[in-house]
Amino acid sequence: MNLTLKIWRQPNGSATGEMVTYPITDVSEDMSFLEMLDVLNERLTAEGEEPVAFDSDCREGICGMCGLMINGVAHGPEVTTTCQLHMRSFSDGDVVTIEPWRASGFPVLRDLAVDRSAFDRIIDAGGYVSVNTGAAPDAHATPVPKENAERAFDAATCISCGACVAACPNGSASLFLGAKITHLAELPQGQAERHTRVLNMVHQHDLEGFGGCTNIGECTAVCPKEIPQDVIATLNKDMRHALWNRV
């Protein structure tokens, strides 16, 4: 199939960028979306134009490194990561607009690659259980009810890709944040630091310049791991308890 790509090009973080149109021909429907971009890049290189920068690593939907805004939808038309999107989701003649995640908390580094270190800093603020190596009791010392373990797991599958922020009209990272809060809140190991965790992580989230959540739900809709919106309710509940506790 033949496509028209409109791609955001920006030589570096401080430069102004623009959308550039590239026609691409003979795209096989078995290609992944990123392989299609690889092919484009090979061609650009041959023509002496610098290839389009975009991030990816595992290319199997688990590392969270990839992430493009494709025709206005984070990760494109399927509920999956950009690397797992295949060209059979497009048809001959389509115009495909490709942009980076847009959020003040995710500055563009070049073309389609953005800096998501804000997420690491949010985790720094409390997204862990404070236990030193070697200090752990036997793993069977504390049973965890299966439902809690399952919900903790569901939340813990977040791959930190940032699609939720990219899709959110408020530019909020609440789904990401809620996923971590819920993961640890569902487990006995996470209880001791539950209140300080939520206060500090929310504080950091706001400092990073992410917007406030108004429960619109675009985040969940594009989340490749289908993290449910109810993790944000858990975040809010913990916040309510934590604030109340401080009174």
Binding residues for ligand SF4, per CB under 6 A? 158-164, 175-176, 179, 223-225, 227
Local structure of 70: helix, strand or coil:
strand
Nearer to ligand HEM, 55 or 238 (CB): 238
Nearer to ligand FES, 64 or 211 (CB): 64
Nearer to ligand HEM, 4 or 215 (CB): 215
d(CA 185, CA 50) in angstroms, rounded, equals: 47
Using the rule CB under 6 A, which residue among 214, 217, 226, 233 binds ligand HEM?
214
- Contacts with 27 (C-beta within 8 Å, 6 or more apart), sequence order: 1, 2, 3, 36, 39, 87, 90
Nearer to another protein, 23 or 139 (CB): 139
d(CA 28, CA 92) in angstroms, rounded, equals: 10
For the bound state, the minimum distance from the C-beta of residue 200 to another protein, rounded and expressed in Å, comes to 9
User: Which among ligand FES, ligand SF4, ligand HEM, none contacts residue 63 (Cβ within 5 to 8 A by kind)?
Assistant: ligand FES
Nearer to ligand FES, 56 or 220 (CB): 56
d(CA 75, CA 85) in angstroms, rounded, equals: 8
- Whose tokens are 């992944």? That residue is 32
Interface positions, 41-70, toward ligand FES (CB under 6 A): 56-59, 61-66
Q: How many CB atoms lie within 10 A of CB 161?
A: 27
Using the rule CB under 8 A, which residue among 48, 244, 246, 247 binds another protein?
48
User: Which among ligand SF4, another protein, ligand FES, none contacts residue 91 (Cβ within 5 to 8 A by kind)?
Assistant: none
Number of residues that bind ligand FES (CB under 6 A): 13
Q: At how many degrees (to 10) do helices 117-124 and 194-207 cross? A: 150
Residue 215 makes contact with ligand HEM by CB under 6 A: yes
Residue 80 makes contact with another protein by CB under 8 A: yes
d(CA 27, CA 163) in angstroms, rounded, equals: 26
- Contacts with 218 (C-beta within 8 Å, 6 or more apart), sequence order: 167, 168, 169
Name the residues that contact ligand HEM, by CB under 6 A: 214-215
